[in-house]
Structure formats: C-alpha cells, structure tokens
Amino acid sequence: MATYVYESVPGAADEPVERFEIRQSMMDDALDTHPDTGKPIRRVITGGYLSTGGGTNRASPAGGAC
C-alpha cells in the first residue's frame, strides 16, 4: 500500500484548499471524490526521494551535476 496526498478542489475563490493523505494500492485509480464527504478532490504530485550522499545521481546519466 502506498500513501498518496490529495487536496480538495475549491468550489469558490475564497474556499480553502485542504490536503490529506489516503492509503491506496498502487494499482488503484486516483480518486476524484473524497471517500467520506463525496466532495471533489485531486491527487497532488509530490517530489520523490533524493539521496544526496554518495552513489549515483539518477537525474544525470553520468552521475554528475545537472
């Protein structure tokens, strides 16, 4: 199971955006409504893990600075 970050989709400009986490299988489709309230939500794409100590930098084929 993976933990995904979702946020509410505001219906008005002054409505606050709320973020929360939901545990789902990686095989599940992204949710578009909150499972408890039925309000519209969207999945938030967040950064992945970046190791800064030793090893190969996967962002660059040569392992050097980008």
Taking only the tens place, the pLDDT of each residue in 2-23 is 999 999 999 999 999 999 999 9
Which residue from 44, 43, 24 is spatially nearest to 32, judged by alpha carbons?
43
In a domain, 57, yes or no: no
- DSSP assignments along 3-55, one per residue: EEEEEE--SSTTSPP-EEEEEE-TTSPPPSB-TTT--BEEEPP-------SSS
Domain count, the chain: 1
In a domain, 14, yes or no: yes
Q: What are the pLDDT digits (tens) for 33-58?
A: 999 999 999 999 987 777 676 655 55
In a domain, 48, yes or no: no
In a domain, 51, yes or no: no
> What range defines the domain where residue 14 resides?
2-43
